[in-house]
Amino acid sequence: MFTVHGKALNNSNNIMDAIATYMDDDIRETVHAELAPCTNDEFIARYLELDPDFEELPASEFSFREVDTPAELEED
């Protein structure tokens, strides 16, 4: 599960839309073609497999991080 500013990404398409503007168009379209329909978490996980350096940008711009359980959201 990925979070942005402490909120589960799957529940926030507006944040996902903002993050998508920073993505490489070709990689984003590749992931879309492979996975759609999918959850935001599934999309981000696959995108990061193809572009691992991308994690640095959302972390600095969006307080983006991966958590293993919903309980970890309470730590934010």
Q: What is the pLDDT of residue 44?
A: 87
Domain ranges for the chain, please list them: 2-69
- Statement: the pTM of the whole predicted model exceeds 0.85: no
Record the tokens describing residue 75, joined without a space.
């730590």
Q: What is the pLDDT of residue 31?
A: 97
pLDDT string in tens for the chain (76-residue length): 666 555 566 556 777 888 888 899 999 999 999 999 998 888 988 998 999 888 777 556 665 556 555 554 455 4
Closest C-alpha to 47, from 71, 64, 69: 64
Based on its alpha-carbon atoms, the radius of gyration of the chain, rounded to whole angstroms, reads 12
